[in-house]
Structure 1
Amino acid sequence: MKAIRADFKALFEQYEAEFLADLKAVLRVPSVRGVKTYQAPFGIGPKRALETVLSIATRMGFRTGQVGDCVGWAEYGPDESQAPTYFGILGHLDVVDVENDWHYPPFDLTQVDNFLYGRGVLDNKGPLLSTLFALYLIKTQKITFKHRVRIIFGTDEESGSQDIPVYLQQEAAPYAGFTPDCKFPAVYGERGLLDVQLSLPITDGSERQITAIDGPFAKSYLPDHARLLLADGTVKTYQGKKAPSNAPEMADNVLPKLVADASQLTGQTGQFYQWLNAKIGNQSTGENLGINFEDAASGALQLAFYGLSIESQQLSCHLTCRYPISVTEEQLLAGIEAALLPGMTVTVKRRYPSQVTDPQLPFIQQLSAIYAADAGLDGTPVTTTGVTYARALPNIIAFGPSFPGQKGIAHKGDEWLQFSDWQMMMQIYYDSLLVVGTQD
């Protein structure tokens, strides 16, 4: 990666301590979604994070606003009467919860050499604040914008993006923009996502062979531990390695190990786990299910086996499929249904169709060129396995923050961001917003 230009580096260093202090203040807010309460539709934590960031933006001298107690904004440039449309940057302040897999305080900023640690430092508080700081560096130089630029702070991205419809009830969508919540270079396409529960009714009573199956079964990552309790008193425990659900190949998923043991049981219960063992097992591309789709733009389908559940007279498994942009949900469901045991059912828990934007649009080409010049890397627009705010707000794409080769960092312990990368992304966003705001 090329060195940061000396002029930006010198400018950044003037405010480095201030920026780190502001990042620390925001990371210290445990903004996990909580119970709806007065003036906090997604809980106290996300609302406190929003208020903290808006306080920083106000101190910096930006125009600010808040919509529905769940979305805030800060903007620079001409006001709405002079510039009815705006370029938008949308990120989120809510974070996923933490587990006992941290070596650093999760709700704080810890700097060790070139690494910054803390929940949200990458996903997405650190990158979102880097766009605010980049805009502030422009403002400190008294550079006049011809176009309005607005940074939008959401608080519910991790739990379904229910905040953005609230925002759009009151505010117009941007004419173009980006979310700093994915990867570089510019991301023109997001794969489809289908989250399904596959269930088998048990009519022979054989589910009573199992007392319980428990573990951290959440859709955002593959579990690193689990436990199988059998009715005969046997207790089996499993240890592995956690990874985000959009990087299943990086996990040592414990569920296939549990399934292999449970497949030794008898009756319909044994048949269900035998089917899971054969059709899914350790696979992450879905070949034994017959859904191993792929295309040149997206690569291979990703299958994330993230959960098991047992209820009275029903056994279920939980899967997330991230499928190529050329594939439809109907094709995917047809493939799954063709592979099921007699009597099994499919329940769709979440669905996001593929999102594709023309990579030749001028603003995408501009962002791509700026990234290539600043980072010294290939700027050709790409696709992603992620689900971002680009699906929730019209006219935006994902752009940053992770650089090529960085994967599987978010949603687990010791979430990190390299300080030099934070500085580099701020440079890229600085140059991007400078072009957006001043161009004819």
Structure 2
Amino acid sequence: MDLNKKVDELKDSLIKSVEKVVKIKSVQEEPKDGMPFGEGPRKVLDCALDISKELGFKTVNMDGYIGYAEYGHGDDYVAVLGHLDVVPEGDGWKYPPYAAEIHEGKIYGRGTLDDKGPIMAALYGLKAIKDLNMPLSKRVRVIFGTNEETGSKEVEYYMKKEKAPVSGFTPDAEYPIIYAEKGITIFDVVKDLKEGCQKGYNIKSIKGGTAPNAVPAYCECIMDGDSAEELKKLAVDFSNKTGFDIKAEISGKDIVVKSYGFAAHGSSPERGKNAVMRMFAFLATLPLGNCELKDYIDFFNKYVGEETDGKSFGVYLEDKESGKLTFNVGCVEMKGNRIKLSLNVRYPVTHKVEDLINPFNKKLEGTGINIENMTHQKPLYFPASHPLIKVLQKVYEEQTGKKADLLAIGGGTYAKEMPNIVAFGPIFPGKPDLDHQANEYIEIDDLVANAKIYAHAIYELAK
């Protein structure tokens, strides 16, 4: 019997296992003893390990952080890394988010697609290999994470105690194969303001954006000073001239200026309209006098403005593997004598972070602007000729009959958290990405198709 027929035999059991884990609400909660991410993540981890035991696998629970099912022998191992934690369900569901109801060939529920269904598919792919007693030269671990949605601290815990796999994949993205993920930096650019602006309008505060990795859709500036009616007219004139959506309103003794944009993900800021930078563009037209705040605003208008590729800032990078650097101004906060912008800059995979930061710092020289709160994720990149990529391409093409094009993305996947793995499925080309959406579902046919693809991928990597 071949692998695909064995997976078909396991279909009903696979569906029941997906239902079991989806019915557990595994959103991060307050930690408790033995439950580093709360009761839900620990409960679903126990459930997945119980399912694995019933299927005949050795299981290990690493102190409630993370666990795995293991099969085979050998010094080296192949890993399939998935996660059992989920984001909050939110509103707008037509079927209960934790009931795992089946309608029209689809299992509905939070986590069905991201990532409980796919990691169960991988587990059952390994079960098919085990049942057929197919010879392997390496161990295989199906690893169950519990903190992917809120920091991936569980993988950090795992890597402190275990050696890395020699190869593997995460079923937590899309097909065919994501072989390149840009380097991601998030940091604040901060200036202390020793003096306020003395002429015209006095800016009391600026606040905009919700996160560095999102294009801000709204920004608000509170000020007082010269004629409020004149400022309202200036806002109308500016909007008519630029097409930007800027409004000024009177609120007691203050004037509130509101800038409206269009949100987009920080990995593709060119798709949005940045409300913070449009606010800066308007503020630069006002009589503020010579002051440090105006210098800060003018600096970012000159070197960023509407650009999303870092050209004027002097940090433009590009490669054929992953395209252009992306530069997103995500948040602004100015109150009292301090202002900061929170930036999310993603750089191409064949470059190093120094290629970004060195010219960035050079541009800041003499401005009094400093970088604070820097976080960094290195790029993930496997050359197209890499054996892992070749194996996954072969499997995908044989199982689907479609070409396995390689994907490069600006976002970061679970693959970045563990060495020697890439993102491989579960979303097929043309199918909707329902991760984090209301009415999340996985089609049963796609669940089974994933189990078949993952079975062959595991076997090819571990045989």
TM tier relative to shorter chain: 0.7 to 0.9
2:314: which partner in 1? Answer: 290
Q: For 1:189-243, what per-residue CA distance to the aligned partner results, in whole angstroms no more than 9, with x for missing partners?
A: 432221121122222235973456255x2345445x5452524524566666554
Check conservation: 2:205, 2:335, Cα contact below 8 A: no
1:348-367 to structure 2, matched below 5 A, reads: 348-367=373-392
Check conservation: 1:118, 1:415, Cα contact below 8 A: yes
1:41-440 to structure 2, matched below 5 A, reads: 41-78=36-73, 83-97=74-88, 109=100, 118-141=109-132, 143=134, 145-206=136-197, 209-211=203-205, 213=207, 217-219=210-212, 221-223=214-216, 225-226=217-218, 228=220, 230-232=222-224, 233=251, 234-235=255-256, 242-251=263-272, 254-263=275-284, 266=288, 267-340=291-364, 342-379=367-404, 381-404=406-429, 410=435, 420-437=445-462, 439=463
Distance 1:343-1:40 versus aligned 2 partners, 3 A rule: same
* Cα distance in 2 for residues equivalent to 1:285 and 1:121: 36
Q: Which range moves more in the overlay, 162-171 or 408-417?
A: 408-417
TM-score by length of 1: 0.80
Percent of aligned pairs with the same amino acid:
29
The one-letter code of the counterpart of 2:41 is P
Residue 349 of structure 2 aligns to a residue whose secondary structure is coil
Q: CA deviation at 1:154?
A: 1.7
Check conservation: 1:244, 1:410, Cα contact below 8 A: no
Distance 1:272-1:99 versus aligned 2 partners, 3 A rule: farther
Check conservation: 1:180, 1:400, Cα contact below 8 A: yes
The one-letter code of the counterpart of 1:126 is G
Q: CA deviation at 1:328?
A: 2.0
* Cα distance in 1 for residues equivalent to 2:93 and 2:313: 36
1:36: which partner in 2? Answer: 31
Check conservation: 1:65, 1:72, Cα contact below 8 A: yes
Q: For 1:397-436, what per-residue CA distance to the aligned partner results, in whole angstroms no more than 9, with x for missing partners?
A: 3323344567976456665655554443332112212334
TM-score by length of 2: 0.77
Residue 454 of structure 2 aligns to a residue whose secondary structure is helix
Check conservation: 2:95, 2:108, Cα contact below 8 A: yes
Check conservation: 1:195, 1:349, Cα contact below 8 A: yes
Q: Which range moves more in the overlay, 371-380 or 277-286?
A: 277-286
Distance 1:201-1:178 versus aligned 2 partners, 3 A rule: same
* Cα distance in 2 for residues equivalent to 1:134 and 1:110: 23
Residue 209 of structure 1 aligns to a residue whose secondary structure is strand
* Cα distance in 2 for residues equivalent to 1:419 and 1:367: 22
Q: For 1:284-304, what per-residue CA distance to the aligned partner results, in whole angstroms no more than 9, with x for missing partners?
A: 322332323111111111223
Q: CA deviation at 1:57?
A: 2.0
Check conservation: 2:396, 2:453, Cα contact below 8 A: yes
Q: For 1:238-294, what per-residue CA distance to the aligned partner results, in whole angstroms no more than 9, with x for missing partners?
A: 666554433434445544445445555635444434544454344332233232311
* Cα distance in 2 for residues equivalent to 1:241 and 1:109: 34
Distance 1:374-1:252 versus aligned 2 partners, 3 A rule: farther
Q: Structure 1 unaligned runs (5+)?
A: 1-5
The one-letter code of the counterpart of 2:33 is Y
The one-letter code of the counterpart of 1:326 is T
Distance 1:18-1:85 versus aligned 2 partners, 3 A rule: same
Check conservation: 1:76, 1:149, Cα contact below 8 A: yes
The one-letter code of the counterpart of 1:46 is P
RMSD of Structure 2 on Structure 1 (CA): 3.7
Kindly name which structure, 1 or 2, has the bigger radius of gyration based on alpha carbons: 2
* Cα distance in 2 for residues equivalent to 1:286 and 1:118: 40
Residue 69 of structure 1 aligns to a residue whose secondary structure is coil
Q: CA deviation at 1:166?
A: 2.3
Distance 1:289-1:35 versus aligned 2 partners, 3 A rule: farther
Q: For 1:309-360, what per-residue CA distance to the aligned partner results, in whole angstroms no more than 9, with x for missing partners?
A: 2343211111212211222211211332344481211225211223334543
Check conservation: 1:105, 1:118, Cα contact below 8 A: yes
